[in-house]
């Protein structure tokens, strides 16, 4: 579709939309105005009907006042004089007053006289039962001289307009003798008379009968919104209705009356709209046609010339051509921009060819293979190194994981979402020449996150592979040697412990002078033998424990115990050593700390080793603190000292066996470096962990945690 046709469509669409918009606006505004006028007119007419009923109630009230404030009526209620009835309450009294009911009720609420007639059939009828019930319940009696009763009550025959006045002597002078109640049925006869007077169609429904839907909607609207104006409803296209509520003396709704009117104002408004619609449509057609011819002359013909030029450039693939458009406006500047763009394209094509050559030269110079595949793993491009090793091109590369399913048809490139982790995927391949290559692949994604290619690179790793094999064999030999070493140490440790026990035992007997007196030098020498033997035995035990750990024969014997009891034993054991340096040992245990399930002797060994180191590396008159807390399902124990601390550079040496910080430290604080290594192994065998927090010159804190219950 050419530009001219599109402009025609756009113009007439625009004017059509504008016309529709104006039509909708005029429809909404004018009809809304006519609807409002119609509603106001209906409301006024409905209020006139409501006013007519109010005047009826006022007329009845005047009659009630005349009779209730008459001295003879006051005396009659108190004395029930027959003369009053004979002279005033004749059979045609209610017909003259146009009333259905006249009731005299004394101040005790007892009806002393009643009159009830059917105005339509001109017959006497009993007082309605519902009216008597209302009197018995004192809802229609006056309690005070100023009480005034007016409203509509529902009776068996239909709604009745009731007016009640207190019976007073004279004109509101003296106490009330009772209540005079007058009533008139709002029946079909009364409604027909009301229709003649108001020139409208009326309908009445009470709340105790099933109403049509429009009555129910109007009642809900009036009650829920408590509006001062009467509700208005559209019944049909040519009818509108107004509604008003009739209420009982207590103000509660009892009936709803509807008045119907023809929709003359609304019909006049619709007729006016038809004239407006015709004028808008005619204006749109005329203006649209004029606009189309103007645009064809000023714009479309020049755009067609530009389109023909670009089509010719595309067909001949000649970017050296130049476009000439007369004028000095945006289209002329557009033609200049097209000429500049063609020049830029020509220069860019030359640069692209140059870069393509450079890229091909660089990739072909690499010894590594480089292959580019489409998402279906078909080869798009390969460098010279890949072409020289054609068997590598037959390797089916691993397709990177993708959120989209792989293509079922290898002949169709399947776009897939780029995986969240776009790392290299590696696989090894052995060529027919016996060389080992590692092939790496990675998805190439566009800006939208779609995979449009897969890049593969390959490097020969034959020598590295051979080295890895040799390294693996060396590792196996080292593990065998280490296992043999562990077994040797375990066996030698057992062999050494037997004579050491004899040496320690006999030296202790000599030191205790069991075999006779010794001089000072002999006693000192025997003591040195015993002390050295015990140190050697402790060293052998640590070596034996480490050997068991390495050989996998280290066993734990679980029991349940209190950590406080364990600390007390270690503190008593280290008390002489700590006292000799003037060091305090303090314990802080969290309240309600549960019992621990672990190997009691080994946990004591861990705590003893850490506290011994804390005392050993603390300054004189310092303090060693042990804190035990519960952290979720673990018990956490921290041992802190105020000693020399450990520099950050030496942290990696702490838990390595046979390792101390430096030679000077070894001289001042002797030891083998096995203690912390063994502590770490024991804690880890309990499924726990150990760490430290330390700075040089500021003391050290070792923290270890073990589960409260072992699985």
- Domain end, chosen from 312, 331, 365, is at 365
Same domain, 511 and 595: no
**390 occurs within a structural domain:** yes
pLDDT-derived band at 265, boundaries 50, 70, 90: confident
Confidence band of 101 (pLDDT split at 50, 70, 90): very high
- Same domain assignment for residues 646 and 594: yes
Domain contains 409 = yes
> What span, in angstroms and rounded, lies between the C-alpha atoms of 542 and 489?
11
Res. 403: pLDDT tops 50: no
Are 499 and 514 found together in one domain?
yes
Per the domain annotation, does 31 fall within a domain? no
Q: Is the pLDDT of residue 328 over 90?
A: no
From 338, 365, 392, the end of a domain falls on: 365
- Cβ-in-10-Å burial (0-12, 13-18, 19+) of 48 comes to middle
**566 and 441 share a domain?**
no
Summarize pLDDT for 373-386 with one digit per residue, the tens.
887 778 777 887 77
* Residue 485 to residues 201, 400, 493, 551, 674, Cα–Cα distance (Å): 119, 47, 12, 10, 16
Rounded to 5°, angle at Cα 615 from 568 and 676: 90
Q: The domain that contains 702 carries what CATH number?
A: 3.30.565.10
pLDDT score of 406 more than 60: no
CA distance 84 to 100: 20
Region 395-420: mean pLDDT is 50
Domain that holds residue 579: 557-707
| 298 within domain boundaries | no
Let me know whether 429 and 562 are in one domain: no
Residue 256 structure tokens: 């709803």
Structural domain includes residue 18 = no
Q: Give the torsion sign (CA, 544, 546, 550, 556).
A: positive
**Quick one: pLDDT at residue 666?**
44
Give the three-state DSSP class for 623.
Answer: strand
Count of beta carbons in the 10 Å neighbourhood of residue 385 = 19
In this structure, the answer to whether residues 675 and 694 fall within a common structural domain is: yes
> Is 371 found in the same domain as 361?
no
376 with 502, same domain?
Answer: no
Within a domain: 511: yes
Question: In the structure, what pLDDT confidence band is assigned to residue 3 with cuts at 50, 70 and 90?
Answer: low
648 and 601 in a single domain? The answer is yes
Identify how many contiguous H helices and E strands the chain contains and give both numbers: 18, 23
Mutual angle of helices 462-511 and 520-551, in 10-degree steps: 150
At residue 413, the pLDDT reads: 42
Angle in degrees, 0-180, between the axes of helices 3-68 and 301-316, rounded to the nearest 10: 130
Q: Are residues 448 and 497 in the same domain?
A: no
Task: Please report the pLDDT score of residue 441 as a whole number.
Answer: 79
Entry pTM = 0.40
Confidence check: pLDDT of 411 > 80? no
pLDDT in tens, 16-41: 787 777 777 776 777 777 777 878 88
Task: Please tell me the total count of domains within the chain.
Answer: 5
Q: Which of 2-11, 395-404, 679-688 has the lowest mean pLDDT?
A: 395-404
Predicted confidence band at 341 (pLDDT cuts at 50, 70, 90)? Answer: confident
Query: Of 436, 395, 438, 443, which Cα lies nearest the Cα of 419?
Result: 443
- Average pLDDT for 11-19: 76
3-state secondary structure 468-536: HHHHHHHHHHHHHHHHHHHHHHHHHHHHHHHHHHHHHHHHHHHHCCCCCCCCHHHHHHHHHHHHHHHHH
Among residues 456, 482, 506, which one ends one of the domains?
456
Which of the pair, 219 or 704, is modelled with greater confidence?
704
Q: How far apart are CA 18 and CA 237, in angstroms?
A: 28
pLDDT digits over 285-326, tens only? Answer: 887 777 777 777 677 777 777 777 788 777 877 777 777 777
pLDDT, tens digit (0-9, with 9 covering 90-100), for 162-217: 999 888 887 556 788 888 999 999 888 888 888 888 888 888 888 887 878 878 87
On the question of pLDDT at 412 being above 70, the answer is: no
d(CA 226, CA 374) in angstroms, rounded, equals 75
Q: What is the CATH number of the domain that holds 85?
A: 3.30.450.20
The closest of 109, 124, 104, 246 to 182, measured between CA atoms, is 104
Q: Give the CATH number of the domain where residue 421 resides.
A: 3.30.450
Question: Are residues 489 and 605 located together in one domain of the fold?
Answer: no
| Residue 419 scores a pLDDT above 90 | no
- 68 plus 186 within the same structural domain: yes
């Amino acid at each position: 579709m050419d530009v001219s046709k599109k402009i025609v469509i756009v113009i007439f669409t625009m004017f059509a939309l504008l016309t529709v918009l104006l039509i909708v606006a005029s429809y909404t505004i004018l009809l809304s105005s006519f609807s409002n006028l119609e509603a106001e007119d209906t409301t006024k007419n409905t209020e006139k009907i409501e006013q007519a009923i109010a005047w009826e109630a006022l007329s009845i009230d005047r009659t009630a006042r005349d009779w209730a404030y008459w001295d003879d009526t006051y005396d009659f209620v108190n004395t029930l004089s027959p003369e009053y009835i004979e002279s005033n309450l004749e059979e045609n009294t209610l017909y003259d007053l146009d009333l259905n009911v006249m009731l005299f009720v004394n101040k005790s609420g007892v009806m002393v006289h009643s009159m009830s007639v059917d105005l339509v059939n001109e017959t006497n009828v009993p007082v309605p039962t519902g009216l008597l019930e209302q009197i018995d319940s004192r809802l229609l009696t006056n309690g005070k001289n100023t009480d005034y009763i007016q409203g509509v009550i529902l009776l068996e025959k239909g709604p009745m307009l009731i007016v009640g006045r207190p019976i007073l002597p004279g004109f509101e002078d003296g106490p009330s003798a009772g209540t005079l109640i007058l009533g008139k049925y709002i029946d079909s006869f009364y409604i027909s008379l009301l229709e003649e007077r108001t020139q409208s169609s009326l309908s009445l429904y009470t709340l105790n009968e099933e109403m049509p839907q429009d009555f129910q909607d109007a009642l809900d609207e009036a009650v829920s919104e408590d509006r001062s104006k009467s509700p208005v409803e559209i019944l049909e296209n040519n009818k509108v209705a107004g509604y008003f509520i009739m209420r009982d003396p207590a103000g509660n709704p009892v009936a709803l009356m509807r008045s119907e009117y023809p929709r003359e104002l609304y019909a006049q408004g619709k007729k006016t709209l038809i004239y407006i619609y015709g004028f808008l449509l005619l204006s749109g057609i005329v203006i649209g046609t004029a606009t189309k011819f103007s645009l064809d002359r000023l714009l479309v013909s020049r755009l067609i010339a530009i389109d023909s030029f670009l089509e010719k450039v595309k067909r001949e693939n000649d970017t050296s051509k130049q476009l000439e458009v007369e004028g000095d406006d945006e289209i002329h500047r557009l033609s200049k921009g097209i000429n500049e763009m063609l020049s830029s394209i020509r220069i860019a094509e030359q640069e692209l060819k140059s870069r393509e050559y450079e890229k091909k030269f660089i990739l072909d110079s690499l010894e590594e293979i480089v292959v580019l595949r489409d998402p279906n793993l078909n080869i798009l491009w390969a460098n010279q190194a890949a072409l020289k090793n054609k068997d590598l091109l037959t390797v089916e590369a691993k397709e990177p994981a993708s959120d989209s399913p792989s293509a079922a048809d290898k002949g169709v490139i399947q776009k897939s979402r780029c995986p969240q982790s776009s790392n290299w995927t590696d696989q090894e391949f052995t060529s027919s020449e016996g060389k080992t290559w590692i092939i790496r692949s990675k998805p190439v994604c566009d800006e939208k996150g779609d995979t449009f290619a897969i890049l593969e690179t390959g490097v020969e790793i034959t020598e590295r592979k051979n080295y890895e094999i040799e390294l693996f064999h060396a590792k196996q030999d080292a593990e065998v040697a280490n296992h043999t070493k562990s077994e040797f140490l375990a066996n030698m440790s057992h062999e050494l412990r037997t004579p050491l026990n004899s040496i320690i035992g006999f030296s202790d007997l000599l030191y205790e002078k069991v075999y006779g007196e010794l001089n000072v030098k002999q006693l000192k020498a025997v003591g040195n033998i015993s002390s050295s033997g015990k140190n050697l035995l402790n060293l052998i035990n640590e070596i034996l424990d480490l050997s068991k750990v390495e050989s996998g024969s280290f066993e734990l014997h679980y029991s349940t115990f209190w950590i406080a009891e364990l600390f007390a034993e270690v503190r008593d054991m280290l008390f002489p050593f700590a006292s000799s340096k003037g060091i305090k040992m303090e314990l802080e245990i969290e309240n309600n700390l549960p019992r621990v399930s672990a190997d009691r002797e080994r946990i004591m060994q861990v705590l003893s080793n850490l506290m011994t180191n804390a005392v050993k590396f603390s300054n004189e008159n310092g303090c060693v603190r042990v804190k035990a807390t519960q952290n979720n399902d673990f018990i956490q124990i921290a041992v802190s000292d105020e000693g020399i601390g450990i520099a950050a550079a030496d942290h990696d040496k702490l838990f390595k066996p046979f390792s101390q910080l430096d030679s000077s430290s070894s001289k001042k604080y002797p030891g083998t470096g096995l203690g912390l290594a063994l502590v770490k192994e024991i804690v880890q065998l309990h499924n726990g962990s150990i760490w430290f927090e330390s700075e040089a010159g500021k003391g050290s804190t070792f923290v270890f945690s073990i589960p409260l219950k072992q699985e």
